[in-house]
Structure 1
Amino acid sequence: MISNVHPISRYILIILCLVKTSCVLGQQAPDAQYIKDNYQKFEYQVPMRDGKKLFTSVYVPKDESRKYPFMMDRTCYSVAPYGTDKYRPSLGPSSHFTHDGYIFVYQDVRGRWMSEGIYEEMTPELEVHKTNKDVDEGTDTYDTIDWLLKNIPNNNGKVGVWGISYPGFYTTTALLSRHPALVAASPQAPIADLWRDDGWHNGAFFLVANFGFYPFFTNRQDDKPTQRPGGHFDPGTEDGYDFFMKMGPIKNTNDKYYKDTIRLWNEMLDHPDYDKHWEDRNVLPRLHDIKTAVLVTGGWYDAEDLYGAINTYKTLAKNNPKTPVYFAMGPWVHGGWARGDGDHLGDVDFGQATGPYYRENIEFQFFSHYLKGTELALPPVNVFETGINQWKTYQTWPPVQAREKQLYFLPGGKLSFSAPSVAKDSYDEYISDPANPVPFVQDRNQTMDMQREYMTADQRFLSSRKDVLSYQSDVLDQDVTIAGNIWANLKVSTTGTDADFVVKVLDVYPDTAANTKWTGKDIKMGGYQQMVRSEPIRGKYRNSFSKPEPFVPGKVTPVNFELQDVLHTFKKGHRIMVQVQSTWFPLIDRNPQTFVNIMKANEADFKKATQRIYTSKLHPSFLKVRVM
C-alpha cells in the first residue's frame, strides 16, 4: 500500500508501480488469486493504421455465460508483467470492477516499452487526419478499440477508458478518437498542458518534480521495443536544498550530470517560454464535439496535475454542453483517490475515509451505468469541502452561489475584505537573495522530491524569515467559504529586472485547536498555519507566457496570476493569512532576478533584489476570491 503518510517522489512512485505491476492499486493484492482463478490473460501486438504495432495485455473473464464491456488503460509506464503466465495483482480502477466482471485492457503507448514507434511527450493531437501517416493518441485509441471489438470474443460492444496522471492524458486523448463504442471515460489527474501542469507554474520551473523523473522515465529513445527500465539518478543525499544550491544554475544539470543524453529533459531546457512546442501539446483546445460521457477526477492537494484536472473539466463542460460531464474533487494527493483511505494529509485530518467513498459511490457507479446500464443518481459535481470536511454536490463548478469578493493587503500586515482607505502610498518590502532562498518545507533532509505534504504543511517555520511577508485577517466571527479559483492581483516593484512572486493562502487555527491522531511529533495544532492554496509566477511572464518582458527597476507594476481552485471553509474563530515571498526552493528553481534565459544563466547572473508589495488605495494588492 502506498500510504498518504510518507512522502514519495514522482519517479519512485512509478518504480513501485512497476514492481507491483499496478500503479495505484497495490493495496488490492488480496485480489491476485481471484484474478488468476477468474481471468485468462492474452497478449497481442495490435496494428495501427500506419503499420506500427502496440503491445496490449487483455484479461478476459473465464465465465462465458454473459458478455462484458471493455475497461482500458493506455500507459507510458508499462503494462508489466509481460508473459501470459504472469498476472497483475489487481485489475481496473478498483476491486469493485475486478469482482463485477469486465474485459480489462492494458496497452503500452506508441514508443514506450514493448510497443513500436518513437515516443513523443504529450503527443500533439491533430484536428485533421488526411492520410494513414497522420497518427496521434486519438487515432491509436480508435484503432485499438476497433481491433478489440473485432478480435476479443464475448464483448458487449462498449468501451470505457480510465487513467491517472500520464494515463489520464491518454484517457483525455481517447475522447478525441470519437469512436462510437467509447461510451465512458475518466481522465484522472490528467496532464492537460505540460508547460502548466508538471513543468512550469506561471513560468516558474518546478525543479524537484522534474529533475529526478526524466532519467527513470527514459528507458529508451529509439523505436526498439524493450522491457528494460530506465535509469536512476542517485544524488547521494536527501537534502535537495543543499544539493541544488551546490549544483548551481539549471544548465549545470547537463554540464555536471546528464551530459545532454536525455532528449526529453533537453526539450524542457530548450523551451522555457510557452512557445509552439508547448502550445501543440496542450490538449485543451481539442476538446470539442465530444459525445462520450466523462468523469474528471482530481485532488485538491495534487502537487503535480491539479491544473489538468480542473481545466479539463471546465473545458469539457463549456465546449460540450449536451454531453454528460461529471467532476469529482477530494482532499487527495496525486492519485490518492485510487489507493488508501484519503482520511488525512500530513498533520491535517479530513474526518472520514474519502477514498473508499469515491471508489464505490462515484467511480464505480459512473462506469457501471454507462457500460452495463445500471441506475445512476450522480450529481454533475461532487466535491469535498475542506475545513468542515463534508462532501458537497453542485450542478456546476464553480457553484453559481459563489460571489466574487476582494481580499485586500493592508498596511501593518492586515488582511481584510475592506479596501485600503488611506491615500498615502504604502508598501512592505524585503530583500530576495538567490543565495539564501526560502525553503518550501521545514525539513531540508526531505527536499530531493516533491514532498506532497507541503500543500497542507504548517508555515510557522518561516516566521523568522525577513523575506516572507504575512498579511492576516482578524479572528473570523463567522465561517468564510471560498469556492472556485483565486486570483492574486499584486502591485509590486523590484530593483531587479525579473522576479518571482509566490502567494500562499493559509488557514490559521485558533490557539485552542486540539491535536488529532495524525498530528506529527513536536507539532501543535494550536496556531497551526495550514496552507490551503499556493502558486508562484515568474514575473517576466506577467503579461504573456510566450513573450517574457523585463521589469523596469523601481516602477510599480501589476502582477496578476491564478492560484487555482479550492473549496475550503475558514471556520469561525480561525484567521485567513496570505504570505508573499520570492523564492521557494528547491520546489521551484531560483530566479537570477536579472532578465536572462534562466535555463542558460550563469552564476554571475544571480543578484539580490529588493521587492516591494504595495498596500495603498492608489496601488492596492488583493486576492480575488469567490465566497459562498
Structure 2
Amino acid sequence: MVQPVTGFPGVTVETDVRCRLSDGVELLADVYRPEGAGGPYPVLLQRTPYGKQGAQSETAFAHPAWYAHQGFIVVVQDVRGRYASGGEFYPFRDEGRDGYDAVEWAAGLPGSNGRVGMYGFSYAGFTQLLAAVEQPPSLAAISPAMTNSQAYEGWTHNKGAFAYAFNAFWSSYLGIAEAVRRGDQERIEALSGALMHAPDNFWMAPEAFPALDRDITPYYFDWIEHPTYDDYWARWSIDSDYSRIQVPALHVAGLYDVFVSGTKRNFVGLRSGASTAEVAARQKFVVAPFHHMPWYPVVEVEDANSKVVDDWQVRFFTETLKETGTGTFESPVSTYVLGAGWRDFSAWPPQEAKMERLFLHSGGRANTRFGDGTLDTQTPGDELPDLYIYDPNAPVMSEGGHSCCVEELTPMGPACQCQREKARGLLVYTTAPQERDVDVVGDVTLTLYAASSAADTDWTARLCLVDEDGCSRNLQEGIVRAAFRESLTTPQPITPGEVYEYVIDLGPVSARVPAGARLRIDVTSSDFPQWARNSNSGYPGDGVPQVATQTVLHTAEYPSHLTLPMVPA
C-alpha cells in the first residue's frame, strides 16, 4: 500500500515491499519515495534487525521521510529472521550474501537510477560492510556508523576478556524480539525482567545470565564457547582484507561508543589497504561526542547533536550517489575535540601529532587517588613497585565507559571517577597541571610491566582528565587478559611471579587538556561489568575464584609508560 507521508509534500511510503533472496527467503521493506520532477533517484538502503518501522530514527537518524525529502529513495529492510522478514536470524551469518541480493533488488526498484548507498549504525553498520565485501555491482557508497571491524575483537571480546555488559544486554534485547515473533509471552516477561535487573544479574557467570538459553539466543553461548579468535570468527572479519571493499565510505564514530576503535580501524584500514588510490581517497572519518545510543552530545554543545550526522550523510551521498561536489573528502578527518569543538585533520592520528611517553612513578604507594603515583616524561630509575590485591568477588566497578546500550544498566559515557579512585585495589598515576592547552587526538596505549601471583589475570586501565577542581572523568579504557598478551588465537599461560610486558590499547581519544588540568591513568584488574571478571584460576579460568597479589613495576629495566598523541591546541 502506497500512502503519503503527512507533512512531507511529495513523499510517499510503500510498506511491506517484498524482496526475494537467491535462496527463496523473502525479506520485507518499507520504501519512501520523493515524487514529481527530478527522478530517477539514487537509493539509500538500511538493513536492520531492530524493526523497519523505526528505521533507527528513534535513537539516531532523522526519519526516512526526511532523507526522501532530500531527493533519495529510502529503503528500510528487516534482515533475515527479524520482525516482518522470513528465515532464521543468527547474527552476522547471512548478512553478506543477503546484503548483495538486497542491494541489487533495491537498484531495480521503480524510480531508482540504479545507484545504491547504504546507511545505518551498530549492527546496521556491519550489514553494510559485510555486503560491501561481496561487491554487489550496484553498491556505490556506504556509511557504516558506530560499528566494528569484526565480530570478535571489539564486539564480543576485548583482548581475551568477554564484553559482558554489552553482550548480555544485546542478546537479551534480540531474544525479546524473537519471543515476540513466537508469541511467547512468558519468555518475553522473563527476558525483560532479567534485562531490567541486569546490574544484579551481572554478578552471575556470563553463561548463567537469566532467561538466555540455546533455544532463544544460541549465538550468545557460541560466543562464550569461542573465547579465542578462531575460524568461527574469521569468516566475519572485515579487517582481514580491506581491499575487498571498493566503494567510498563515511565512517561515523562516537567518542564514548563501544565500537569507536573498530570504526577507526575501518577508516584507517581502507585509507591504507583499499584496492585503489581512488577508493582510499574517498574515505571520511567523523568522530562525534556520542555514546552508543541515543545520540546526543555527552557535553552540552549546540554543534554536535545527531543532526550533524544527518547533515554529513546527505552531503556524502550527494557527492557519491548524485556526483555533485560537496567537499566531503577535503579533510579526511573531522573530529569533535572535547572541550574545544570541531577540528579537521588530514589523517588519524593527525600528521601533526607528537607521540609522547609519560612514565609511571611512585614511592611504592600509588594506591587510590590519595597515593603517590605520578606521570611525567622522565624515565624511571630505581623505584619500588606498586602492589594491590585483586579479589574477583570484590571487583572495581565500571563508572561510565564504552559499553552499550542503556546507561542505567550498562555503564557508558563520561562519569566522575573520584569514588572509584578511592579503592585500594586501584593504582592512580597523575601528571602535574598542564602549563598550556594541548589536544590529545589519536590512539592511546599503556605499556605495563607487571607480575601476578595468579596463573592468569586481567590488567585494565582508564585514561582520565582531571580538571582544576579535582574532578576525574574517564576518556578511554582498555583491558588485556594475561594469557592473551601476545596472541588472540593461541593464548599462553603466565608463570606466577614472573614479569611480563602487557600492552593495553585504550583506543581513540579526542580531548583538550586545558592549562591547569591533569592527565591520569588508573590501573587495576577489573572493570566490571563492562568485562567479565577473571577468576585468577588460570586460563581458561573455570576454577574457583582466587585472590591475587598484583605487582606493577616502573624502573629503568621495566619502564611502564603511557603513550599519547599530543597536538598543539
Range into which the TM-score falls when normalised by the shorter chain: 0.7 to 0.9
Give 2:80's match in structure 1, choosing from 102, 110, 113: 110
Query: Match of 1:480, as an amino acid?
Result: V
Query: Match of 1:611, as an amino acid?
Result: Q
Provide closer, same or farther for how the CA distance between residues 241 and 384 of structure 1 changes in structure 2, counting only shifts above 3 A.
same
Give 2:434's match in structure 1, choosing from 476, 481, 495: 476
SS at match of 1:487: strand
Q: Could you give the per-residue CA deviations for residues 280-299 of structure 1, whole angstroms, max 9, x where no partner exists?
A: 22122243143322111111
CA shift at 1:480, angstroms? 3.0
Matching of residue 141 in structure 1 with residue 90 in structure 2: no
Provide the rounded CA distance (Å) in 1 between the counterparts of 2:193 and 2:13: 43
Equivalent runs, 1:158-177 vs 2, <5 Å: 158-177=115-134
Give 1:300's match in structure 2, choosing from 244, 255, 258: 255
Give 1:274's match in structure 2, choosing from 226, 229, 236: 229
CA shift at 1:562, angstroms? 1.2
Matching of residue 579 in structure 1 with residue 522 in structure 2: yes
Give 1:317's match in structure 2, choosing from 271, 275, 296: 271
Provide the rounded CA distance (Å) in 2 between the counterparts of 1:377 and 1:197: 32
Provide the rounded CA distance (Å) in 2 between the counterparts of 1:40 and 1:461: 51
CA shift at 1:539, angstroms? 1.5
Query: Match of 1:419, as an amino acid?
Result: T
SS at match of 2:101: helix
Aligned equivalent of 2:167: 210
User: 1:508–1:576: 8 Å Cα contact kept in structure 2?
Assistant: yes
User: 1:114–1:227: 8 Å Cα contact kept in structure 2?
Assistant: no
Equivalent runs, 1:360-375 vs 2, <5 Å: 361-375=311-325
User: 2:49–2:123: 8 Å Cα contact kept in structure 1?
Assistant: yes
Query: Match of 2:128, as an amino acid?
Result: T
CA shift at 1:145, angstroms? 2.9
CA shift at 1:447, angstroms? 8.0
Provide the rounded CA distance (Å) in 2 between the counterparts of 1:571 and 1:259: 49
CA shift at 1:479, angstroms? 2.3
Matching of residue 566 in structure 1 with residue 521 in structure 2: no
CA shift at 1:564, angstroms? 0.8
Aligned equivalent of 1:327: 285
Provide closer, same or farther for how the CA distance between residues 364 and 596 of structure 1 changes in structure 2, counting only shifts above 3 A.
same
Aligned equivalent of 1:157: 114
Q: Could you give the per-residue CA deviations for residues 490-541 of structure 1, whole angstroms, max 9, x where no partner exists?
A: 000111111111111111100xxxxxxxxxxxxxxx2110111111221111
SS at match of 1:268: helix
CA shift at 1:167, angstroms? 0.3
User: 2:130–2:236: 8 Å Cα contact kept in structure 1?
Assistant: no
Aligned equivalent of 1:413: 373
Provide the rounded CA distance (Å) in 1 between the counterparts of 2:407 and 2:11: 44
Matching of residue 67 in structure 1 with residue 43 in structure 2: no
Provide the rounded CA distance (Å) in 1 between the counterparts of 2:310 and 2:178: 40
Aligned equivalent of 1:376: 326
CA shift at 1:72, angstroms? 0.6
Give 1:505's match in structure 2, choosing from 463, 466, 476: 463
In structure 1, list runs of 5 or more residues that go unmatched.
Answer: 1-30, 124-135, 511-525
Provide the rounded CA distance (Å) in 2 between the counterparts of 1:114 and 1:439: 40
Aligned equivalent of 2:368: none
Provide the rounded CA distance (Å) in 2 between the counterparts of 1:267 and 1:351: 42
Q: Which moved more, 1:487-496 or 1:274-283?
A: 274-283
SS at match of 1:115: coil
Equivalent runs, 1:366-405 vs 2, <5 Å: 366-378=316-328, 379-405=330-356
Provide closer, same or farther for how the CA distance between residues 447 and 113 of structure 1 changes in structure 2, counting only shifts above 3 A.
closer
* Number of residue pairs aligned between Structure 1 and Structure 2: 541
CA shift at 1:588, angstroms? 1.6
Provide closer, same or farther for how the CA distance between residues 409 and 144 of structure 1 changes in structure 2, counting only shifts above 3 A.
same
Q: Could you give the per-residue CA deviations for residues 219-277 of structure 1, whole angstroms, max 9, x where no partner exists?
A: 6889x9879898352457967554433x3x33433xx6435433111112211222221
Q: What is the RMSD of the two structures over their aligned residues, measured on CA atoms?
A: 3.0
Provide the rounded CA distance (Å) in 2 between the counterparts of 1:580 and 1:88: 37
Aligned equivalent of 2:148: 191
User: 2:32–2:68: 8 Å Cα contact kept in structure 1?
Assistant: no
Query: Match of 2:390, as an amino acid?
Result: S
Aligned equivalent of 2:21: 48
Provide closer, same or farther for how the CA distance between residues 250 and 179 of structure 1 changes in structure 2, counting only shifts above 3 A.
closer
User: 1:294–1:325: 8 Å Cα contact kept in structure 2?
Assistant: yes
Provide the rounded CA distance (Å) in 2 between the counterparts of 1:356 and 1:42: 26
Aligned equivalent of 1:359: 309
Matching of residue 258 in structure 1 with residue 206 in structure 2: no
Query: Match of 1:267, as an amino acid?
Result: D
Provide closer, same or farther for how the CA distance between residues 286 and 231 of structure 1 changes in structure 2, counting only shifts above 3 A.
farther
CA shift at 1:594, angstroms? 1.5
User: 1:35–1:90: 8 Å Cα contact kept in structure 2?
Assistant: no
Matching of residue 430 in structure 1 with residue 369 in structure 2: no
In structure 2, list runs of 5 or more residues that go unmatched.
Answer: 363-371, 401-405
Give 2:478's match in structure 1, choosing from 499, 519, 535: 535
Aligned equivalent of 1:518: none
CA shift at 1:95, angstroms? 6.6
Provide closer, same or farther for how the CA distance between residues 469 and 40 of structure 1 changes in structure 2, counting only shifts above 3 A.
closer
Aligned equivalent of 1:467: 425
Q: Which moved more, 1:273-282 or 1:232-241?
A: 232-241
Q: Could you give the per-residue CA deviations for residues 108-163 of structure 1, whole angstroms, max 9, x where no partner exists?
A: 2223333333333222xxxxxxxxxxxx534333322333333x222222211101
User: 2:476–2:506: 8 Å Cα contact kept in structure 1?
Assistant: yes
Provide the rounded CA distance (Å) in 2 between the counterparts of 1:326 and 1:463: 38
Provide the rounded CA distance (Å) in 1 between the counterparts of 2:64 and 2:519: 38
Provide the rounded CA distance (Å) in 2 between the counterparts of 1:89 and 1:624: 35
CA shift at 1:176, angstroms? 2.2
Provide closer, same or farther for how the CA distance between residues 335 and 81 of structure 1 changes in structure 2, counting only shifts above 3 A.
closer
Aligned equivalent of 1:451: 411
SS at match of 2:153: helix
Equivalent runs, 1:214-253 vs 2, <5 Å: 214-218=171-175, 231=188, 233-235=191-193, 240-245=198-203, 247=204, 249-253=205-209
User: 2:64–2:74: 8 Å Cα contact kept in structure 1?
Assistant: no
SS at match of 1:463: helix
Q: Could you give the per-residue CA deviations for residues 403-433 of structure 1, whole angstroms, max 9, x where no partner exists?
A: 222111012411012211x2x3521010111
Q: TM-score, normalised by structure 1?
A: 0.79
Provide closer, same or farther for how the CA distance between residues 250 and 153 of structure 1 changes in structure 2, counting only shifts above 3 A.
closer
User: 2:41–2:71: 8 Å Cα contact kept in structure 1?
Assistant: yes
Query: Match of 2:547, as an amino acid?
Result: K
Q: Could you give the per-residue CA deviations for residues 419-456 of structure 1, whole angstroms, max 9, x where no partner exists?
A: 11x2x3521010111111111139xxx98722323xx1
SS at match of 1:40: strand
SS at match of 1:195: coil
Provide closer, same or farther for how the CA distance between residues 235 and 396 of structure 1 changes in structure 2, counting only shifts above 3 A.
same
